[in-house]
Structure 1
Amino acid sequence: MESFEGREPQKKERPIKKTNPQRIEDRKPRVIPQRFLPTIPSLLSTPNIPLIHRDVSWLQFNERVLEQARPSSKNLPVERVKFLAISASNLDEFFMIRMASLMREIAAGKTQSSKLSHLTRIRDVLLENVVKFTARQVEILDLLAAELQKIGIHIVTNLDDDEELKAMGSRLFETAVLPHLKAPTTFSPQSLKELDNLEMAVIFPDGLWYRVPRNLPPVLSAGDGKDSKIYFFFLDHILQTFLARAFRSQGAPAVVRVTRDADVTTDLIEEGTAPTPDVIRGCLNSRDRGAMMRLQYLGNISPELMEACTKELNLAPGQVLPAPTSLCLQGLWSVVDVFSKGKIKKKLRRKVVYPPLKAHTPEIFKHPKTIFERLSQRDYLLHHPYDSFQAFVSWIEAACKDPKVSLVEITAYRFGTLSPIIPVLKKAAKEKCVRLLIELRARFDEGNNLLIAEELSQAGVQVGFGFGKLKLHAKVALVARKENGVERYYTHLSTGNYNAKTAKQYTDLAIFTSNQEIGLDARNFFDAVWKGEIPTGFKKLVLAPTNLHRRLIALIQAEIKAATQGKKARIVAKMNALVDDQVIAHLYRASQFGVQVDLIVRGACSLIPKVEGLSDNIRVISIIDRFLEHSRFYYFQSSREMYLSSADWMPRNFFRRLEIAFPVLDERILSYLEKVVIPTHLKDTEKARELTPQGTWKKTVSKYGRPPVRAQFVFADLAARQYRGTSLE
């Protein structure tokens, strides 16, 4: 496997351009070419630093997700359905979180006309892009439905002309829907305020309406696939078609769906309110009653009624959106579930979904009695989902059973339901000290985390919480073990959650280490958080909010210094989002000094690469594939320092969360990350998309006769071969 350091010169290596750099803060505002403006409003949201607005960039990310549902993506058909469903649920969350944040800013800026104008322009551009996006969703749904129909999978988008489908839909309505509906009541525009977040209702022209129970699945299936045919119906289509039949005198009904502000803990964080279980429960009770962000509708609503509803809900016209085909696209996950878990013929399943990944478990974790002896000799890397999460579970189990272990500590952000770790911790708490720090404000996991905290507390586990304005986002587990009369520490640090389910769906990197300085740092981290204090004074770990931001800027500056001395200077970083303007400013400056910068950013990216004189030496790619890219790493070539982390390059991660960046100290692991992980990501030609200086994303292509590269498939193959031929062998 070729190291990225060993690229051949000239043709295969992009040229490094050096410009006449000024300090970013000293440069006069640049005139931004007009070609940016139709796509990207507010490039100058930070003075003198060209930036893509983060919400526009996020919508572009969702476009890349939707692109994976197109035939050209080369994904299997039901995998493409999955991406269509993800794009719809992502859009729901966009309105619940990002649009809600923007609308709060607009409300706060009403006294400042210039700020208000700026914010409303952003809102309008975002809403225009949403309308175009939903039209593309419909186009892709039609393509998918036509393709799947050829192999006996019917996603029904039209019930009007097919009597067989009508009969099937009618049976579903009678058996699976109608028994759950309560009697209709009188409707007025004020009635919509009664709807909870993401709740649907059916409105008749003559003034009656049904609230749709939230326990009804958004997509219903008929047939089991055993006869090679299976049908999927959208709930809103079923309601609209068959309620209309039941109430012919009422005329054709419309189906509506509301989206509310769901960021329930924002105020808690801003106020520094203690996130106790009782406080969080109170917040959850208000999630479904947040301010209205969107009204979607399917069918015809009179202009007069629509105007009245818009006014009653205090929505801008652009926040009232017709559904071109269905309000239930997010429910297409049902299709994925049927083919992943249902009793479908293997022959059909092989055509439409990937077989389950057979994750690799390193040999050390198959022998519990010798785990700590082996870990004391060297560090171990796990690359999920290619390496099994069971390795971590085995380590925790071994620690909990080992009589020499006196202490087990772990953080939890998203543990997930039915976690295999929970029963292990409960059992261990009967014999040794087990401490859990859990973040109750993990968005959309608050309720689950409350249940986990209560369950473990009742079992004797000491349970603590994040505090003040800081969300506990670090992923660290610590074991204290008595060896030859001395307490030794074994530490596990990860970029991702201790969640058995998402460990099969997300890519993450994790390290087991017996390095005692790291162990002491981890112990100090836990002790400080238990006291409600911000951790400080670390030797190896880098912490947010104390010094992660400052340390990253110092490392960027070190690369600049190396470049000015004629040394090789390069930065490679991978993250979920890059929106911190100060870090971006320093990356622009590094580019001007000739530092080569490669960024792998899955989601929102405010930095603009390849702008002449500003970011010539910066390349940005994004990879969207079968597994959600979730790992974060930061590599600095001149010092050969590499950190893995739970933190994205966002202000919230730097200043409003407890985060850990941990160094890669084991030469074997560092070599593997340098020579395999980094170049494989950067050479992806199948799923990578590259950001252009115009703020758009283009497909990467194979060059110079090289075969195509799909990074996730490469990593899966390496794990299946037990990393033979690499430094991890």
Structure 2
Amino acid sequence: MTRTSETTPEINLSDPQYYFNRELSWLEFNNRVLHEALDPRTPLLERLKFLAIFSTNLDEFFMVRVAILMQRVEAQVDKVSPDGKTPQQQLDALSQQLRPLVTEQHRFFDRTLRPLLAEKGVHILNYMDLNQEQRRYLQHYFEQRVFPILTPLAVDPAHPFPYISSLSLNLAVLVKDPVTQKELFARVKVPNSLPRFITFPADIEPVDRNSVWVGVPLEQIIAHNLELLFPGMNIQEYSLFRITRDADLEIEEDLTHDLLVLIQQELRKRRLGGAVVRLEIEASASQAVRDRLMREKDLTDRDVYALEGLLNLKDLMSLMAIPLPALKDQPWGAAVPSRLRNLNDDTSDLASSAEANEDIFSIIRKQDLLVHHPYESFTASVEHFITQAAHDPKVLAIKITLYRTSGDSPIVKALINAAENGKQVAALVELKARFDEENNIHWAQRLEQAGVNVIYGLVGLKTHTKVVLVVREEGEAIRRYIHIGTGNYNSKTAKLYTDLGLFSCKEDLGADLTDLFNFLTGYSRQQSYRKLLVAPVNLRDRMLALIQRETEYRHHGKPGHIIAKMNALVDPQIIATLYAASQAGVEIDLIIRGVCCLRPGVAGVSDNIRVISIVGRFLEHSRIFHFHNNGEEEVFIGSADWMPRNLDRRVEAITPVEEPALAAQLCAILDTLLADNRHAWDLQPDGTYVQRQSGENMPEHDAQTEFAMQLQQ
């Protein structure tokens, strides 16, 4: 903390007024995602995609963040967040701010996107809109394909209320027995083994001449054939509903010696379902049905979202498969990094190519290599590096951390090949990667069966770092090649997320990664690293010191400037240190895609801090940290955001990028992002975001498009 003058009282930088609430800031982020759907500049089918992403994001938010707050309220934990809110106050504020967003999402889909899609020949029809021929077809479809799957479940003294799985679509049905005149309640689950939208064959009369795709929601087909499920009963009412359950795993690692068994047990509990944290229901549902569901699931009005139109809009993502390229983002191919364009892609001939000095290792020996995904090919760089290492006879060992990987991962296959080729292979597979636990268990067991040394994470820590170490015999020496990245070793997300990776064979980085892997796989209390910033060892202290160094330069009349790009900024200590730097006159530019708890532009506190968020075609996932350092600039990339979990409860690695040309490349990336006026939003002192606009005197700068164009040349 600093004093602005001898007469000005010291400002308490921990005061809650200087912090935004983490959960409410996340809602602002998801609002920016929704805006991509609302924006007419976004291609039509891509607008559907963003509606689906908005819904998927919300599901995970309720399953984890809202669930945690509800647990704290139930446990009567009144500890306030840095912005001064109790768990109950946060839940109330979330409900108040979220409802208008969800209402806007559903209204926009039904009143704007549906008609626009129909104009392009894409018809999402309601059952009531169908002609007789279409209805006959769907009735036949129901009888042949749907009816045998369904299991109507009665609720009465002999049949307790059935278990409702999280995120499933269900019909609440009220029927009247014509004999007893009793009104009875039943539940019908909409099967997720069938497509959400049922389409018509080519010989069914099209809606219009331009019809490309015509579909009807499956739940409406079921609803209009309920008499077959309840013969002899009078259908009084039906309403679609969906519940969301707590999905956070409660992992008490100190109580078991086998983390794999513990995670498997917790996954079984998740499938059985935690407490219900949200009920979504059709707005047309009667109060009696709504009250019945709330009573059975122990919910309050705050937990209920009554929605117009379709529920579960994340299923709109399936419509991206409709063959209308004019309604989607223009396709493009990731460029092969220029220095890798002459590599031999035939892994069966890697031994001879190595002798010819035409392999990726010779490229790295000449100079460090920086790759920028998805603009540069993940396959031609990262996957090639690991695959070549698996087959190269000179490679002795491969070590890797896997946080999230794709189901058909070429990297996992390469690791298996490496083990089969007699190399020492070690893979730390993080079983606690949320929502990827089951997938990671599968791949960990496959690797173990192939002879790979598999480590199932660390007790008390998630291993979030993205690093590869390749040990290669070259003549009489051993050389270590490394890759340190900002993103997961996942070929699918590498096409959708912006990430960076550094290849190097510098001795100090190789030695640091050796020490890091020894910490991950054995017994080590390594407390110092030559170059790497490693959490939870030295990352927090080093980041604080780098910020404070800029502050000291300003105190001595020298310039100070920080540019940092990350997914989220939450940590109160980092924020307070940034405030102190701003008070000293350090210029601070932050590019924070998601949650930002720092309040910029506050007089006397954060006058010199600017925050932007970029939400566009690709998910901004890379982390870059730039410090002016009195003209001796230092630039870092790595896996960590400035959040308590990354700094204190995860294993993370951030590396300096010291090659002048590569450091300049990173600075150019930051400059391009800061100049964006197509997908960039400026965070205001009140917590709202204002989207930047291009104009007559301000030509449009779309950073993501510019990166793609630069690397295609």
TM-score (norm 2): 0.89
Find 1:442's aligned residue among 433, 457, 460: 433
User: Which residue number in structure 2 is paired with residue 312 of structure 1?
Assistant: 296
The 5-angstrom pairing of residues 72-111 of structure 1 reads: 72=40, 74-109=41-76
CA distance in structure 1 between the partners assigned to 2:364 and 2:11 by the alignment: 51
CA distance in structure 1 between the partners assigned to 2:603 and 2:305 by the alignment: 40
Find 1:351's aligned residue among 324, 327, 351: 327
The 5-angstrom pairing of residues 264-663 of structure 1 reads: 264=249, 266-268=250-252, 276-288=259-271, 289-298=273-282, 300-336=284-320, 338-339=321-322, 344=323, 348-364=324-340, 366-368=342-344, 369=354, 370=358, 371-390=360-379, 391-430=381-420, 431-531=422-522, 533=524, 535-638=526-629, 639-663=632-656
CA distance in structure 2 between the partners assigned to 1:114 and 1:495 by the alignment: 29
After superposition, the C-alpha distances for 1:668-723 in whole angstroms (9 at most, x for unaligned) are 1101111x2011100000001111111101011347923110000010011101xx
CA distance in structure 2 between the partners assigned to 1:196 and 1:250 by the alignment: 24
Local SS of the residue matching 1:204: strand
| Residue 179 (1) aligns with residue 171 (2) | no
Taking structure 1 as reference, are residues 160 and 503 closer, same or farther at Cα in structure 2, changes over 3 Å only? same
CA distance in structure 1 between the partners assigned to 2:685 and 2:558 by the alignment: 27
Shift of 1:476: 0.2
After superposition, the C-alpha distances for 1:84-124 in whole angstroms (9 at most, x for unaligned) are 00001111111101101111111222688999993222211
Find 1:214's aligned residue among 177, 192, 202: 192
Shift of 1:328: 2.0
CA contact (8 A) 2:152 2:229 kept: no
Shift of 1:233: 3.0
CA contact (8 A) 2:152 2:186 kept: no
Local SS of the residue matching 1:250: strand
CA distance in structure 2 between the partners assigned to 1:512 and 1:162 by the alignment: 59
Taking structure 1 as reference, are residues 95 and 645 closer, same or farther at Cα in structure 2, changes over 3 Å only? same
CA contact (8 A) 1:275 1:466 kept: no
CA distance in structure 1 between the partners assigned to 2:686 and 2:585 by the alignment: 21
User: Which residue number in structure 1 is paired with residue 247 of structure 2?
Assistant: 262
Taking structure 1 as reference, are residues 151 and 24 closer, same or farther at Cα in structure 2, changes over 3 Å only? farther
CA distance in structure 2 between the partners assigned to 1:80 and 1:315 by the alignment: 33
User: Which residue number in structure 1 is paired with residue 181 of structure 2?
Assistant: none
CA contact (8 A) 1:21 1:593 kept: no
| Residue 672 (1) aligns with residue 665 (2) | yes
Structure 2 alignment gaps of length 5 or more: 176-184, 345-353
Taking structure 1 as reference, are residues 566 and 417 closer, same or farther at Cα in structure 2, changes over 3 Å only? same
AA partner of residue 51 (structure 1): Y
Structure with greater contact order relative to length (CA < 8 Å, sep ≥ 6): 1
Taking structure 1 as reference, are residues 567 and 392 closer, same or farther at Cα in structure 2, changes over 3 Å only? same
CA contact (8 A) 2:37 2:50 kept: yes
Shift of 1:455: 0.6
- For structure 1, which segment, 226-235 or 254-263, has the greater mean C-alpha deviation from structure 2 after superposition? 226-235
CA distance in structure 2 between the partners assigned to 1:685 and 1:237 by the alignment: 43
CA contact (8 A) 2:127 2:216 kept: no
User: Which residue number in structure 2 is paired with residue 692 of structure 1?
Assistant: 684
CA contact (8 A) 2:155 2:161 kept: no
AA partner of residue 359 (structure 1): A
After superposition, the C-alpha distances for 1:11-32 in whole angstroms (9 at most, x for unaligned) are xxxxxxx982799995358xxx
Pairwise CA RMSD of aligned residues? Answer: 2.8
Structure 1 alignment gaps of length 5 or more: 1-17, 30-45, 722-729
Taking structure 1 as reference, are residues 97 and 308 closer, same or farther at Cα in structure 2, changes over 3 Å only? same
After superposition, the C-alpha distances for 1:438-495 in whole angstroms (9 at most, x for unaligned) are 1011111111111101111111111112111100100000111112211111000000
CA distance in structure 2 between the partners assigned to 1:365 and 1:463 by the alignment: 33
CA contact (8 A) 1:276 1:465 kept: yes
CA distance in structure 1 between the partners assigned to 2:523 and 2:57 by the alignment: 34
CA contact (8 A) 1:274 1:468 kept: no
Shift of 1:372: 1.2
AA partner of residue 64 (structure 1): R
CA contact (8 A) 2:683 2:690 kept: yes
CA contact (8 A) 1:275 1:441 kept: no
CA contact (8 A) 2:339 2:363 kept: no
Find 1:146's aligned residue among 91, 98, 115: 115
Local SS of the residue matching 2:529: coil
Local SS of the residue matching 1:479: strand
After superposition, the C-alpha distances for 1:37-94 in whole angstroms (9 at most, x for unaligned) are xxxxxxxxx545611111001011110001000143x111111110000001111111
Taking structure 1 as reference, are residues 333 and 193 closer, same or farther at Cα in structure 2, changes over 3 Å only? same
Shift of 1:637: 1.0
Shift of 1:183: 4.2
* Sequence identity percentage: 36
User: Which residue number in structure 2 is paired with residue 27 of structure 1?
Assistant: 11
CA contact (8 A) 2:107 2:308 kept: no
CA distance in structure 1 between the partners assigned to 2:257 and 2:660 by the alignment: 42
